[in-house]
Amino acid sequence: MKELICISCPRGCHLKVDEKTLEVTGNSCPRGKIYGISEVTNPVRIITSTVKISGASSPRVSVKTDKPIAKNKMFEVMKLLDKVELKSPVNIGDIVLSNILGTDVNIVVTKKM
Amino acid sequence: MIERELVIIGGGPAGLSAAYGAYQNGVKDILIIERDSRLGGILNQCIHNGFGLHKFKEELTGPEYAQRYIDLIQQTDVEVKSDTMVLDLTKDKIIHCISSEDGYQTIKAKAIILAMGCRERTRGAICIPGSRCAGIYTAGAAQKYCNIDGYLVGKKVVILGSGDIGLIMARRMVLEGATVAADVELCPYSNGLNRNVVQCLNDFNIPLYLSHTVTDIVSDEKNGRVSKVIISKVDENRKPIPGTETEIECDTLLLSVGLIPENELSQNAEIEIDPRTKGPIVYDNLETSVEGIFACGNVLHVHDLVDFVSLEAEKAGKKVAEYLNEGEKYATLIKVENREQVGYTVPQYIRKVNLDNDTVQISFRVRSPMKNKRIVLESEGKEIASFPRLHLAPSEMENIKIKKSKLRDVAVLSVSIKEMQR
C-alpha cells in the first residue's frame, strides 16, 4: 500500500494505492484514481535545469525535457546536461539533446539568449 | 521634463501584462521602466515549469512564460527603458530615474502603473538568533546564483519555511548535487502549493518538519560559515518549546519565509498603504489613493500564481485606458471588510459607478486551511452572495466575482468564511 497526496487539483486528497491490485482509495474524483495509478506504475516528471552557454549575458541558459520522463531517470538526465555547452544565440524550443537515454524525450532550450 | 501618457514602473510579469492590457485598450504612448537589463523580472530565474496553466492552458517554464508577453509587447509601439532605476516618484506623477545611457531624467506622466513586485523577507525580518556567519541566503537569492550565474551556494542545506520558492530550491539543490537535510516550517501546515510539496520534497525524501523553527545558528570558527542549526518544536502560539531542540549539521541555511511588496516609491508618492497586504489601498479599478496612479501584481498583494498576476495587470491596463479617456469618476464608496478567517481583501474600496454593467473581483487569502466552507458576502448582517469551496488554504489566493448591480444599497461589504448550509 502506497500513500500519496494527489496533485491533480489544489484540494490535495490523501490517496492510498494498492501496488498489486491498483485499487485507489481516498480520492474524491476520477482524476485522483488516474493520478494514483500512474504514480505507482510509471511516475514521470518534467525535468528543468540549466546548461553552460558562451557569448550571452550570463553563463547559464535554462532547459527542460520536452516530455515527462521516468522519475528514476532524473539524475541520469542531470549528468547528461553537465557535458552540454551552447553558444549564443539560442531560442526557445531549440533541441540540445535528442532521444535521451533511449526514450523519445528531447532536451530543449527554454530561454532566448 | 519628458511628458508621457502612461509610464509603467517594472518590466516583470505585472508590468508586461499591464502594458499589453493598456495597449489593447487604446493607449498608444506607453513607457515601461525596468531596472534590470532584461524584461521578465523574477520569471527569468524561475526555470521550473508549471506557469501558464490558467492563462495559456499549458505548462511553461518561467522564461517561456515571460517570452510570451515580451513577444506580444514587441509587436506594439510600447517603449522599454531597461537598465533604468526609478529613484523617486511624486504624487503629481513625476518620475525621477537614472541610467548609464540617458543619465538622470524626470518624466511627467498622465497615468502611472506601479508594477515593482515584491522582495523576500530576510533573516533580520524574522530575528533568528545565533551566529552572524556566512552561508545564510534567502531562497530566491540562492535561485539567482544557481540558475542565472551558475553557482551552487552550498552542499548540505537546511531550508527554513515551506513557501514555494523554498520548496522549488530544495529540489533544485538536490538535482545539482547538494543534499537537503530538512525543511523546517513554523506553521502546522505547508505554506507552499501541494504539488510543490509532493514534487520537490516527497520525490527526494526530504523531511518536512511542521510546527518547528530554527532557534540557533552555529558557525565553524575556522571558515566563518554555518556548521549546524538548532531546530525546536513550537507550541500552538508558535513559541519554541524548551527541551525539544535537535541539531542538524549543514553548511547552508536557505530562508523561504515570506514576501513583502516593494513599496518605497509608493510611499514617496504618499500613496496609502494597507498594513495587511503591505501594498497600496486600491479601488475596484486598481487605482491607488493618488489619482492616476494604479497598482497591480505583487506590489499590490503577493500572488501565488503568475497567471493571476497577468490577469490582474491586464485589467489595470484596461482601467488606466478608461481613466485616460474618461477622467476620474468620483462616487460614493463601498468599504470592503475582511471578517472571520479572511486575512485581507483587494480591493479595499468599491466605487459606486457603472452599477449596471460592472463586475467586481475581490481577491483575498484565508488565515488557515479549511475544508467544505463557503465564502460569504454580507452587508449589515444580510447575505448578498455565497460561494461554496471544498478546500481553502492560506497558500492559495481566492478570487470571487460579484455584479455591482447587487451592491446598489451597500455601504460596507464584509467577506467571511462560514459553515456550509444544511
Average of per-residue pLDDT across B117-124: 95
Residue of A nearest to B63 (CA): A111
B390 contacts A11? CB cut-off 8 A = yes
Exposure on the CB side of residue B366, measured as CA atoms within 13 A: 22
Instruction: State the DSSP code for B148.
Output: I
C-alpha cell at position B116:
515593482
Residue A109: other Cβ atoms inside 10 A: 22
User: B252-255 and B156-160: which strand pairing?
Assistant: parallel
B131-143: pLDDT as tens digits: 999 999 999 999 9
**DSSP bridge partners of B105:** B97
B68-113: pLDDT as tens digits: 999 999 999 999 999 999 999 999 999 999 999 999 999 999 999 9
User: Which one of A29, A64, A75 makes the best mutation probe of the B interface by having the most chain B beta carbons within 10 Å?
Assistant: A64
* B139 Cα to chain A: minimum distance (Å): 16
* B25 Cα to chain A: minimum distance (Å): 29
Q: Of B338, B336, B398, give the one whose Cα is nearest residue B363.
A: B398
B391 contacts A28? CB cut-off 8 A = no
B44 contacts A48? CB cut-off 8 A = no
B277-289: pLDDT as tens digits: 999 999 999 999 9
pLDDT band at B66 (very low <50, low <70, confident <90, very high): very high
How many residues are recorded in chain A?
113
**DSSP bridge partners of B118:** B261
Strand order of the β-sheet with B208-209 is B136-138, B252-255, B156-160, B179-184, B208-209
What are the domain boundaries of chain A? 2-41, 45-109
Question: Exposure string (b/e) for B377-405, b if CB count within 10 Å is 16 or more?
Answer: bbbeeeebbeeebebbbbbebbebebebe
Average of per-residue pLDDT across A54-59: 95
Q: The pTM is what?
A: 0.94
Rounded-to-integer distance, Cα B314 and Cα B318, Å:
6
Q: Of B227, B208, B205, B224, give the one whose Cα is nearest residue B216.
A: B227
Residue B54, pLDDT score: 87
Average of per-residue pLDDT across B258-265: 96
A50 contacts B150? CB cut-off 8 A = yes
Q: Does residue B126 contact residue A29 with C-beta atoms inside 8 Å?
A: no
Pick A45-109's CATH classification: 3.20.20.70, 3.40.50.720, 3.30.70.270, 3.10.530.10.
3.10.530.10
Q: Does residue B103 contact residue B80 with C-beta atoms inside 8 Å?
A: no
* B60 Cα to chain A: minimum distance (Å): 9
Average of per-residue pLDDT across A93-104: 96
Average of per-residue pLDDT across A75-102: 96
Residues of chain B positioned with their CB less than 8 A from the CB of A56: none
Average of per-residue pLDDT across A13-40: 90
B318-340: pLDDT as tens digits: 999 999 999 998 899 999 999 98
Q: Please report where in the chains the cell 522549488 appears, as a residue.
A: B168
Question: In this complex, is the C-beta atom of A88 within 8 Å of any C-beta atom belonging to chain B?
Answer: no
Rounded to the nearest angstrom, the gap between the alpha carbon of residue B15 and the centroid of all alpha carbons in its chain is 13
Residue B170, pLDDT score: 97
Residue B74: other Cβ atoms inside 10 A: 10
Q: Between B192 and B12, name the one with better pLDDT.
A: B12
Question: In this complex, is the C-beta atom of A112 within 8 Å of any C-beta atom belonging to chain B?
Answer: yes
Residue B422, pLDDT score: 67
* B327 Cα to chain A: minimum distance (Å): 40
B367-412: pLDDT as tens digits: 999 999 999 999 999 999 999 998 899 988 999 999 999 999 999 9
Residue B39, pLDDT score: 97
Exposure on the CB side of residue B196, measured as CA atoms within 13 A: 23
Question: In this complex, is the C-beta atom of A92 within 8 Å of any C-beta atom belonging to chain B?
Answer: yes
- Torsion angles phi and psi, residue B127, rounded to 5: 50, 60
Please name the residues in contact with B8: beta carbons below 8 A apart, sequence gap of 6 or more: B15, B18, B19, B22, B30, B31, B32, B33, B112, B113, B115
- Torsion angles phi and psi, residue A33, rounded to 5: -65, -45
Please name the residues in contact with B37: beta carbons below 8 A apart, sequence gap of 6 or more: A57, B82, B83
From chain B, which residues contact A within 8 Å (Cβ)?
A: 37-38, 44, 47-49, 59, 61-64, 67, 146-150, 175-176, 193-195, 197-199, 202-203, 390-391, 393, 396
Res. A56: pLDDT tops 80: yes
Helix (H) or strand (E) holding B268: helix B264-268
A92 contacts B391? CB cut-off 8 A = no
B235-256: pLDDT as tens digits: 999 999 999 999 999 999 999 9
Q: Of B373, B366, B378, give the one whose Cα is nearest residue B336.
A: B378
**Strands in B246-381 per DSSP E:** 246-249, 252-255, 259-261, 293-295, 333-338, 349-351, 359-364, 370-379
Structural domains in chain B plus CATH codes: 1-120+259-328 (3.50.50.60), 122-257 (3.50.50.60), 331-422 (2.60.40)
Residue B195, pLDDT score: 83
Residue B366, pLDDT score: 96
Of the candidates B47, B202, B203, the beta carbon closest to that of A50 is on B47
Residue of B nearest to A73 (CA): B175
C-alpha cell at position B367:
488565515
To the nearest whole number, what is the mean pLDDT of chain B?
96
Alpha helices by DSSP H, listed for B9-162, are 13-24, 62-74, 123-126, 139-144
Rounded-to-integer distance, Cα B169 and Cα B422, Å:
44
Residue of A nearest to B37 (CA): A57
B47 contacts A110? CB cut-off 8 A = yes
pLDDT band at A10 (very low <50, low <70, confident <90, very high): low
In chain A, the largest separation of any two C-alpha atoms, in whole Å, equals: 54
- A–B interface: beta-carbon pairs under 8 A: 74
Q: Between A71 and A12, name the one with better pLDDT.
A: A71
* B321 Cα to chain A: minimum distance (Å): 31
> What ipTM was assigned to the predicted interfaces of this complex?
0.91
Q: Does residue B220 contact residue B252 with C-beta atoms inside 8 Å?
A: no
